[in-house]
Structure 1
């Protein structure tokens, strides 16, 4: 097998059968494949993404037998009243079992060039949406004594990137919430963990002026000498969402090919 094309993530046949998953940023570069992999494991997914073309692409790639378990919610996460109302409708039907707080925006420029409104916008999408989604899911998870919350942080927390201050700040907030929620919710059988993706070839890389130079920069820093794929992220999410991860909480799992070893 070509080392650039790892197999699809798989925890077990139907490992998420019957599980209801809320996934923000579900149609993006990493979310698209993870959504498909979770559908293949039997999950019912409420996929939130505001990008119509990406939503259409996800829908087109969804196998016919899984289409009824994919609910695409084309929403702007900064419209907090609408988000809160929609989540109330979803959780009124049945509890959510898994929440994946993945949606993020990543404007890039020197810190002093950001306006306060731009800083607030990043926080609203990257952090406040996670607060709203988790708050909506918590009562049902608590009542059923089972739940999985997965926050997507970032390798940028290691300090190796410039001109991303509000994005890095937001990911630091999610890491802090991961630990706070893990401590507070554990008594109800709810785990909360984070995944820190490395430098994956997604739309986020388009901000770099020298793509080939950046690719080599990434490979030079990784122990594993291939670029990461969405399947790599999917494998980590599937595991943390599974029954087998019930004794793991408060952790930040780096999925970065061995870039950051702590």
Structure 2
């Protein structure tokens, strides 16, 4: 599948799932504006990008909770040309009992996981509307299905993204813009470091899934590339679970 000429904004692009997907998008011909606040992960992404693709990778180190900084970055990107797609992937993932979260912590999780998606999508919308084509992909989570404790602000934020997926799909469709969600299952990324018993958690994941292997970033990359493609042009407002059959809809 070719994405030649497509300008894609990708938040959390250097993280556990984002890193490989960014490389796959570049390999498919896209120009990727890769937003991530982690300096070491950004450096690793740059190092892993083949030399012949490097000119189309634009890594940007920015904290998505810093609204003025994020807006400044986005203003510069869209001034150079319209964005074809936005992938709202970045998220923070703290874990503790509900009553232990302060309201400020709730606000910070919402700022990164939801408000940044609002800002990025709003920045890209005029260009997409003007060209009569666009793709927005929101990365949600298997945790929306229930069964996970100590993650209430994170689950709340992903529920908000799912609601926005449906609302934006209804509103943006008349301009040729599709909006869909991808709900990853349990992938072996840094997010799993919150679990005190990694081996036990790994065994639990495999026991819960129908497919008896751990998911990898390429599984998410394939779903993202599908939603970016012309083949998905009549699909909008949907949520695709990529979880090895842990939950089924």
Question: TM above 0.5, one fold?
Answer: yes
Partner of 2:189: 202
Q: 1:55 & 1:86 partners in 2: Cα distance?
A: 16
Q: 2:23 & 2:69 partners in 1: Cα distance?
A: 26
Partner of 1:23: 10
Indicate the SS of the match to 1:65.
coil
Is 2:33 aligned against 1:32? Answer: no
Match of 2:229 among 242, 245, 254: 242
Matches within 5 A, 1:1-262: 12=1, 15-262=2-249
Q: 1:22 & 1:85 partners in 2: Cα distance?
A: 14
Indicate the SS of the match to 2:136.
strand
Q: Shift of residue 18 of structure 1?
A: 0.2
Query: Aligned-residue CA RMSD in angstroms?
Result: 0.5
Indicate the SS of the match to 2:143.
helix
Deviates more, 1:78-87 or 1:142-151: 78-87
Greater RCO (CA < 8 Å, at least 6 residues apart): 1
Q: 1:81 & 1:225 partners in 2: Cα distance?
A: 45
Q: Structure 1: which 4+ aligned runs deviate by more than 6 Å?
A: none
Q: Shift of residue 54 of structure 1?
A: 0.3
Q: 1:54 & 1:92 partners in 2: Cα distance?
A: 27
Q: Which consecutive residues of structure 2, in runs of 5 or more, have no partner in the other structure? A: none
Q: 1:205 & 1:227 partners in 2: Cα distance?
A: 12
Q: What are the Cα deviations for residues 166-220 of structure 1, in whole angstroms up to 9, with x where unaligned?
A: 0000000000000000000000000000000000000011111111111110011
Indicate the SS of the match to 2:52.
helix
Q: Shift of residue 160 of structure 1?
A: 1.1
Q: Shift of residue 82 of structure 1?
A: 1.4
Q: 1:77 & 1:204 partners in 2: Cα distance?
A: 18
TM-score (norm 1): 0.94
Between the two proteins, the alignment pairs up a number of residues equal to 249
Q: 1:42 & 1:71 partners in 2: Cα distance?
A: 14
Indicate the SS of the match to 1:82.
helix
Q: Which consecutive residues of structure 1, in runs of 5 or more, have no partner in the other structure? A: 1-11
Deviates more, 1:50-59 or 1:84-93: 84-93
Q: 1:244 & 1:84 partners in 2: Cα distance?
A: 32
Q: Shift of residue 231 of structure 1?
A: 0.3
Indicate the SS of the match to 2:240.
strand
